[in-house]
Each structure stands twice: as C-alpha cells, then as structure tokens.
Amino acid sequence: MSYWYCLNHHAVEGQDGCAYKDRLGPYETEADAERALEKVKERNEAWDNDPNWNDKK
C-alpha cells in the first residue's frame, strides 16, 4: 500500500484521499508520509546549499 501526505488536511492518506495535486508522495510507509514536510525542508536546504545550483556569489 502507498501513502500520501495531504497538504489540505495536514494528515496521512491512503490511495483514496484528496486529489493528487494536493498531496505529497507516494511514500512506502505511513511513517515516511508523516515526515513529508520535514523531508521537503531537508531537500530544500540541501539544494539551497549545493554549489552546483547556487548562483549567489
């Protein structure tokens, strides 16, 4: 089974949740889906600090 994080309800949902445009995922586990926003923050910080993508001088 796959899980998604709903951006409208701030909750983990299964296959029959809200529209895909309002969700992050899919994730393999419910625990991974619960960490969705934390993972987004971690990835954004990594990309912001990646010298291959950072145009700031």
Give pLDDT, residue 51.
85
| Contact yes or no for 37/7 (Cβ under 8 A) | no
Sorted by where each begins, the domain ranges of the chain are 3-48
Q: What is the DSSP letter of 21?
A: G
Helix (H) / strand (E) element for 47: namely helix 36-48
Give pLDDT, residue 41.
97
On the CB side of 51, CA atoms within 13 Å amount to 0
Strand partners, 2: none
Q: What's the pLDDT tens digit per position in 1-57?
A: 999 999 999 999 999 999 999 999 999 999 999 999 999 999 999 999 998 876 765
pTM of the model: 0.80
